[in-house]
Amino acid sequence: MAKLAVRTAIRDAIAEEMRADPNVFMIGEEVGEYEGAYKVSQGLLAEFGEKRIVDTPITEAGFTGLAIGAAMSGLKPIVEFMTWNFAFQAIDQIINSAAKTNYMSGGLVNVPIVFRGPNGSALQVGAQHSHDLSSIFSNIPGLKVVSPYDSTDAKGLLSSSIQDPNPVIFLENELLYNEVFEVPDIEYSIPIGAANIKRAGTDITITAFSRGVAAALSAAELLEKNNISAEVIDLRTLRPLDTKTIINSVKKTSRIVSVEEGWMSSGIGAEIISLVTLSAFDYLDAPPERISSLDVPLPYAKNLEDLCIPNKENIAKLCMTFFNNN
């Protein structure tokens, strides 16, 4: 096993897929000469040249539409957004062109394209650069939505996303780019739609994704000190959800807390609670709970930003309420 930062794992997945398939190319702002705003594309321009690592002007609507057209014509673009917040400039192209074309063409036209970049909170980048778009894209038929936590999953899921014949929304996190995890020394892929049990437990299930997994795992350690065994599920894919893994866990633990950095209204947690209530109601010993960011645009001030985002303490505190009321 090698140890790789998340940014390096993403870069390696892109390089491996580009070497394997000449139809794969990457396009976006500063992906070439500058090697990416977050240095994810280091060395790719030198290896693959400017025809496959394409720098663009600051025009998300333009280069997203160009890439979707290329995908419809048989190429496999990887579109990098400097932040997913900027993807709002290209929302029509993503939803109305990329997501719907296969259905509207009766399956005749595939759109094999990956949209990727940092999503959600970072470190004091303000409300307009901190929006978590997970639930927005998870609502759209025709899209697959992936949100990895560690280097192993980032690399394996990105490889699967590039190989997939459908459009994939690949949600990274800026604060995870420097985090280092073990990665297999071989080329591999991880199937889209499969969650991962990061920590087995018997008393309560905690679901999370992206940076929320770290908070959930830390909360599980706090709970262990109170003799509460928490099972932590890294969702990894938000559309399609791995419903089987979630339901099987709840049947074992009889309690569930959903963790997400997005807002609570119509969020990922709402979908999970609905799923659990419909499919595992008789196994529940208490109503499902969820924790999310506070219902305000994320503040710039560090102390307020920290108060808005779920952390290990408030996740553990919420989990404890299941047992304090007994």
Q: Convert the pLDDT of each residue in 265-298 to its tens digit.
A: 999 999 999 999 999 999 999 999 999 999 999 9
Q: How confident is the model at residue 122 (pLDDT cuts 50, 70, 90)?
A: confident
Residue 325 pLDDT class (50, 70, 90 cuts):
low
* Whether 8 and 133 share a structural domain: yes
Domain containing residue 228: CATH number: 3.40.50.920
Instruction: Give catalytic status of residue 129 as yes or no.
Output: yes
Active site includes 187? no
Asked if the model's pLDDT at residue 326 lies above 80, the reply is: no
Phi, psi of 95 (to 5 degrees): -85, -50
- Pair 163, 213 in one domain: no
Residue 262 pLDDT exceeds 80 = yes
Q: What is the mean pLDDT of the chain?
A: 96
Task: Give domain status of residue 188, yes or no.
Answer: no
pTM higher than 0.85: yes
Q: At what angle do helices 151-163 and 6-20 cross, to 10 degrees?
A: 30
* In a shared domain, residues 39 and 175: yes
The whole-number average pLDDT for the span 249-255 is 98
Residue range(s) defining the domain that contains residue 80: 2-183
C-alpha–C-alpha distance, residues 88 and 108, integer Å: 28
Q: Does residue 189 lie within any of the structural domains?
A: no
Q: Do residue 171 and residue 236 come from a single domain?
A: no
Q: Which of 129, 260, 271, 305 is catalytic?
A: 129
Domain count, the chain: 2
- CA distance readout (Å), 51 to 38, 77, 286: 21, 12, 57
Same domain, 147 and 230: no
Candidate list 60, 231, 261, 271, residue with the active-site label = 60
* Same domain, yes or no: 276 and 166: no
- Do 204 and 118 share a structural domain? no
CA distance 232 to 245: 11
Pair 9, 102 in one domain: yes
- Cβ 38 vs Cβ 116: under 8 Å: no
Per-residue model confidence as pLDDT tens digits over 167-186: 999 999 999 999 999 999 99
Q: Is the pLDDT of residue 195 over 80?
A: yes
Residues 177 and 241 reside in one and the same domain: no
* Residues 161 and 201 both lie in one domain: no
In 226-306, DSSP assigns E strands to: 230-234, 237-239, 256-263, 289-293
Which strand (E) or helix (H) includes residue 146? strand 144-146
When pLDDT is averaged across residues 290-314 and rounded to a whole number, the result is 94
Short-list 172, 171, 174, 146, CA closest to 160: 146
Task: Please compute the mean of the pLDDT values over residues 219-223 and round it to a whole number.
Answer: 98
pLDDT surpassing 60 at residue 136: yes
